[in-house]
Amino acid sequence: MLKVQGRIETIQKFKAKGGKIIGVAPYHYPKAIFRAFNILPVEIWGPPKLNTLESKAHIQTYICSVVHSILTYHLKKNLDICDMFLIPHTCDSLQGLGSIFLDFVKPKQKVFTFYTPRGRRSVDIDFITKEIEKIYNMLSELTGQKPSYKELKKHIEIEEKANLVLKKLLDQRLYLDIDDYKFYSLIRTKEYLPAEEFIEIAKDIYLMYKKDSKIEKTPVIISGLLAEPMEIFKVINQKNGIVAGDDLAITGRRLYPPSEGNNPFNRLAKSIINSPPDPSRGDSVDFRVKRLLEIAKKTNAKGVIFYIVTFCEQEYFYIPHIRKRLRENGIKSILIDTDINQELSQQAITRLEVFMETLQ
């Protein structure tokens, strides 16, 4: 297996070279802007399997486990290694988390927020352009630096390249002879590695595991926020399945297409706005179903696993309609509720196993 650098090691190395770290909650944000200021975004999607006693003093049990984990991790001082935080406005729960950070918990580090518009209209592009510029100005004030447009462009291009290599890996998944657990462990390093280092990892994955013909396994698509607990991959692989299609917020929904333009903020804005369909952006059922059917057609997947973190309303809403439309197109689906801090239940495992059998 490829050896990759862990989070702490990456952070320590980056800081040793004079860089700073920003802890980033899920999930859309203009990564390149931070890199231009020599700030490395390290995403916080948990961590999983955490005892979230501390967060329950601040937020109710009906808030999702991802938010509970982030808050607990901070309260346990595990995020003290970060120099600042960014809490994008992704949903009502992350909205609340941002508010709690700013008004109650009040870490000593600076807390940024970032609002992604709920639309793909020209007014939305204009707004997010200004929102990105606002982040730039705030970072300028904080650091005393003012990276030029040329500098910004350099970082935008490298992030675009990192997105493209990830896209290539996901598109070519059926030709990569590596099990899903290892595959996702590797590609999720994009959450913390500098883009240039991730690109090298991606190249190595491609070279090491690329086969000339498709892997003969039952392809499925996975949809949701993130694939935690990751044991799901073992269950799928044990039933001779492979996750051939990715509709996860953590990976596949953030394949930002490259963009153009002289204004770097506008270029980043267009890239984010034109990302794949996503419930956090309020995208329509139609748009989402079309994408899933496209992925199914490319990969020959006959099934979709909706792997939904319990209490994640924005995922739940669309499930009945999407499942109905998939069924009409001959695609089976299953809904598995998860808690990132719990083991995958035996009930869920059994249901998944049966589901995989029905696809074969």
Partner 1 sequence: MNVLKFIRYYLMTNLIGKPYLKRQRKIGERKIEKITGENSPLNPPLKITAYTKEFVSSHYFKGRYIEGVKPVAWVTSGAPIEILKALGFFLIYPENHAALCGARRVQMDLIKTAQKQGLSQNVCSYVRTDIGSLLSGKTPAGKLPKPDLLVACSNICQTVLHWYRMLQEYLNIPLVIIDTPFVYRDIEPHQVDYVKKQLKNVLLPIAERAAGKSLKEKDLKEVIKFSKDATELWLEILNLCAKRPSPLTVFDQFVFMAPIVEMRGDRETVDFYNTMYKEVKFRVNSGIGAIKKEKRRLLWDNLPIWFKMRELALKLAEKGINIPISTYTYAWGELAPLMDLNKDEFEVMARVYLSPILNRGAGHKLKTMADMVKRFNLDGVILHSDRSCKPYSMGQMDQRNKLIEEFSIPAMLLEADQNDENAYSEEQTVIRIESFFEMLGVSNG
Instruction: Give the interface with partner 1 as residue ranges (CB under 8 A).
Output: 57-60, 62-63, 89, 91-93, 95-100, 102-104, 113, 115, 117-119, 121, 123-124, 126-127, 130-131, 134, 279-280, 282, 284-285, 310-311, 313-314, 316-321, 323
> How does DSSP classify residue 215?
-
The least distance separating partner 1 from the CB of residue 26, rounded to whole angstroms, comes to 14
- Per-residue three-class SS string for 260-328: CCCCHHHHHHHHHHCCCCCHHHCCCHHHHHHHHHHHHHHHCCCEEEEEEECCCHHHHCCHHHHHHHHHH
Q: Name the residue among 30, 31, 5, 35 with its Cα closest to residue 19.
A: 35
Distance, CA of 187 to CA of 204 (rounded, Å) = 11
| CA–CA separation, 268 and 245 (whole Å) | 26
In the complex with partner 1, the residue whose CB is nearer, 271 or 280, is 280
- Please state, in angstroms and rounded to a whole number, the distance separating the CA atoms of residues 119 and 73: 32
Work out how close the CB of 87 gets to partner 1 at its nearest, in angstroms, rounded to a whole number: 9
| Smallest separation, CB 340 to partner 1 (Å) | 15
Instruction: For partner 1, give the closer residue by CB, 118 or 290.
Output: 118
Q: How far is the CB of 279 from partner 1 (least distance, A)?
A: 7
Rounded Cα–Cα distance for residues 15 and 301 (Å):
43
The nearer residue to partner 1, 115 or 175, going by C-beta atoms, is 115
Q: In the complex with partner 1, which residue's Cβ is closer, 93 or 189?
A: 93
Tell me the closest approach of the beta carbon of residue 337 to partner 1, in angstroms.
9
CB nearer to partner 1: give 215 or 293: 293
State which residue, 319 or 349, has the beta carbon closest to partner 1: 319
The minimum distance between CB 262 and partner 1, in angstroms, equals 20
What order of strands is seen across the sheet that includes strand 241-248? Answer: 241-248, 218-224, 303-309, 332-338
* Contact criterion met (CB below 8 Å) for 245 and 221: yes
Whole-angstrom distance, CA of residue 159 vs CA of residue 174: 25
